[in-house]
Amino acid sequence: MKLFGYFRSSTSYRLRIALNLKGLEYENIPVDLRTSEQKGEAFTARNPFGSVPMLEADGRDRAQSMALLEWLEEAYPDPPLLPAGSEDRYTVRELAHAIATEIHAINNLPVLRYLADPLGHAQDDIAIWYRHWLSRTLGPVEQRLAQLHTGDFLFDRPGLFEVVLLPQIYNARKFDYDLSDKPHTTRIEAACLALPEFERAFPDNQTDSPDYIQPAGE
């Protein structure tokens, strides 16, 4: 498999975590969003959305991270990203889709850029926008985690929820968002970051990151 992504892209980060959790080998192919490589003809001929991630697998190019995560789950069910029962699956999807559709889609880079140009908003206002949409959904997510009496993970192992949560929390920290009133969210974040599957997927540990340090012996 080849994962076309960008180190700081949260949707690429989702895929890296999921592939690692499933123990699937993949080659990471950096697509440089700074030079708009994703909008070039060579890339859009393969992925008309002109966005990352794109996964090349079984001779097919697939895009759209949430659809890709569901595809991975169906194609490679073991180990699972979703719990066994339909009620628990519902809970995972409720929280994962809330983050994907109510935070990420509204706070994505093209949206933030559009607010600046052509709409003319100042960076300080854009940061207020960003934190507003974070609060609006991270608050209910935290409340739901409290109701569910979660431990280190939403259920017994990290899965689709954690795959979507961790990249969003990484972004929230980049925007200096105060998470001190979100003990359940940050407990799950800490437990995930301690796992090698999440560590390997971390943006700074990708070869296209300026912070990348080649591990000794590689």
Ligand X SMILES: N[C@@H](CCC(=O)N[C@@H](CS)C(=O)NCC(=O)O)C(=O)O
Interacting residues toward ligand X by CB under 6 A: 9-11, 33, 38, 50-52, 64-66, 108-110
Half-sphere exposure of 50 (CA within 13 A, CB side): 8
Distance CA 141, CA 99 (A): 8
| Complex with ligand X: residue 28 or 108, whichever CB lies closer | 108
| Complex with ligand X: residue 106 or 127, whichever CB lies closer | 106
Local structure of 1: helix, strand or coil: coil
Which of 9, 4, 46, 3 has the alpha carbon at shortest distance from 25? 3
Task: Provide, rounded to whole angstroms, the least separation between the CB of residue 111 and ligand X.
Answer: 9
Task: Provide, rounded to whole angstroms, the least separation between the CB of residue 87 and ligand X.
Answer: 26
Task: Provide, rounded to whole angstroms, the least separation between the CB of residue 40 and ligand X.
Answer: 11
What is the secondary structure of 61-118 as a DSSP string? EEE-HHHHHHHHHHHS-SS-SS-SSHHHHHHHHHHHHHHIIIIIHHHSHHHHHHHHTT
Task: Provide, rounded to whole angstroms, the least separation between the CB of residue 30 and ligand X.
Answer: 12
Instruction: Report the amino acid identity of residue 40.
Output: G
Cross-sheet strand order for the sheet of 2-5: 27-30, 2-5, 54-57, 60-63
| Complex with ligand X: residue 50 or 140, whichever CB lies closer | 50
* β-pairing verdict for 54-57 and 2-5: antiparallel
| Complex with ligand X: residue 38 or 185, whichever CB lies closer | 38
Query: Which residue blocks in 117-182 are alpha helix, DSSP H?
Result: 123-147, 160-174
Task: Provide, rounded to whole angstroms, the least separation between the CB of residue 180 and ligand X.
Answer: 26
| Complex with ligand X: residue 51 or 185, whichever CB lies closer | 51
| Complex with ligand X: residue 14 or 184, whichever CB lies closer | 14
Q: Apex CA 137: angle with CA 136 and CA 142, to 5°?
A: 115
Task: Give the residue nearest to ligand X (CB).
Answer: 51
Task: Provide, rounded to whole angstroms, the least separation between the CB of residue 11 and ligand X.
Answer: 4
